[in-house]
Amino acid sequence: MPLKLCHSCLDIAENTLELALRCMRELPDVWKRIEDLVFSNQVRVLRAFTRTRISLSHMWPSTGYGYQDTGREGLENLFAQIFGGESSLVRLAWTSGTHVLKTALYGLLRPGNEILSVTGTPYETLRPVIGINPPERQASDIAPGSLLALGVKYRECSCLVDFESGTIDSSTLENQLEKHISPGTTLILIQRSRGYSHRKTISMASLEVFMEIINRRWPHVITFVDNCYCEFTDVYEPPALGVSITAGSLIKNPGGGLAATGGYVVGPESYVNLVAESLYAPGLGKEAGSNPYGYRDVYQGLFLAPKVVGEALKGACFAALFFSKLGYKTDPGPFERRGDIVQQIILEQPEALKTMARAVQAASPVDSFAAPEPWEMPGYAHKVIMAAGTFVQGSSIELSCDGPFKFPYSAYLQGGLTKEHVIYACMKAKDALDGLEMKTS
């Protein structure tokens, strides 16, 4: 006898289960497309493991300076091969994606150099690193220690974002770049994921067109891609297109839910060495850096990452369809091709955002009893509410739900080690939102 799901056994409303099952019946085609992606990426990762001849000895810890750390070297060979770059730096000393980006920018830039962001204003936690002030602060009040304070210049435009919307073609993009790239432009910054904005993610197809133009017209300019949330959402990564430096966090996609901390950069050896000297010291470069706890979780997490990212993508597609049927605006749409694991759900009411965050937290395996509240989170100009009942604190490949506590009160749902967890959390969120509506009506 086939298993029949029971709404009372799941502790959800009957109409909620009916809606979820109806959504799942509409998703097989898009889920099959994701499964094909997972298969391709899993083989790519496996082949890198076999070519690198990874063994149990690579899992062993190291101490002190970490000279001749074979585990670290094997891991960096893997990232370079999987991502399609010449060299990589993978270190557990990095605590977040912002920390990786900061280290890389300080290694690559010098006073008098200029950054051009072609995807608009960067994500909020990177703005203090650059020295971009929130609206309420004076333009002259530059944060000490920021890149601007050290003499690095900054400009921004949204020409690549405009291209992603499909409203302009390659020649128009090239013309736009001509207007913004100056003789002094040293580094072009591309943030692939949307962050807390309402724009589309920068797809690999768009990045390929962009890099063809840059490599042909401005090959001397450093291209820097913030790849957070985007790894394994396509069959290749930015370094394969000739991007100078690609950076990300291990507690997002490439850690597969197992890496406890850390980050990576991939690119030509000359640039990677500059980042390594920024992290450690000139002269030390990549030769230093130990890990007394061993590398097994990082290796295994990387191996599982294609499958885990696939589960998160499937969960995001479900969430988009489920909440759109409830009348909420969702982006991306359920059947769109995705370039990251982030799903935006526009709730429009502060209590709705708080209710959804609390429902996701209550449906989490860790700290389910906690009740998220908006708070002054370091690095953000506005209060942020965050539900993250994760095994690794702040992990975004595990299911989380957060957003700035301001209009239009969008929930940014991301991650999910299993799609079933995402589906169940969405059902619990619907029930909670239904209860809020009854309470306020």
Q: Which of 277, 302, 327 is the last residue in one of the domains?
A: 302
Compute the chain's Rg from CA coordinates: 22
Percent of the chain whose pLDDT exceeds 70: 96
Which range among 28-37, 128-137, 180-189, 428-437 shows the weakest confidence by mean pLDDT? 128-137
d(CA 396, CA 229): 8
297 with 316, same domain?
Answer: no
Tell me: pLDDT of 3 over 70: no
Asked if residue 335 has pLDDT above 80, the reply is yes
User: Do residues 337 and 383 share a domain?
Assistant: yes
Indicate the number of domains in the chain: 2
Question: Are both 377 and 415 inside the same structural domain?
Answer: yes
Paired tokens of 2: 């086939």
Per-residue pLDDT for 133 more than 90? Answer: no
Residues 36, 62, single domain; the answer is no
Note whether residue 46 is domain-resident: no
Same structural domain for residues 288 and 144? yes
Range of the domain at 30: 7-41+306-440
Q: Which of 302, 319, 341 is the last residue of a domain?
A: 302
| CATH number of residue 36's parent domain | 3.90.1150.60
Q: pLDDT band for 1, please (50, 70, 90 cuts).
A: very low
Same domain, 210 and 243: yes
Q: What is the pTM of this model?
A: 0.95
- Is 158 among the domain residues? yes
How far lies 226's CA from each of 67, 108, 193, 310, 324, in Å?
29, 14, 8, 20, 29
Distances (CA, A) of 428 to 11, 78, 172, 378, 386: 8, 39, 46, 29, 17
Does 322 lie in the same domain as 292?
Answer: no
In a domain, residue 429? The reply is yes
297 and 318 part of one domain? no
DSSP per position, 107-152: HH--TT-EEEESSSSPPGGGHHHHTPPPTTS-TT-PPTTSTTTTT-
Question: Are residues 350 and 283 located together in one domain of the fold?
Answer: no
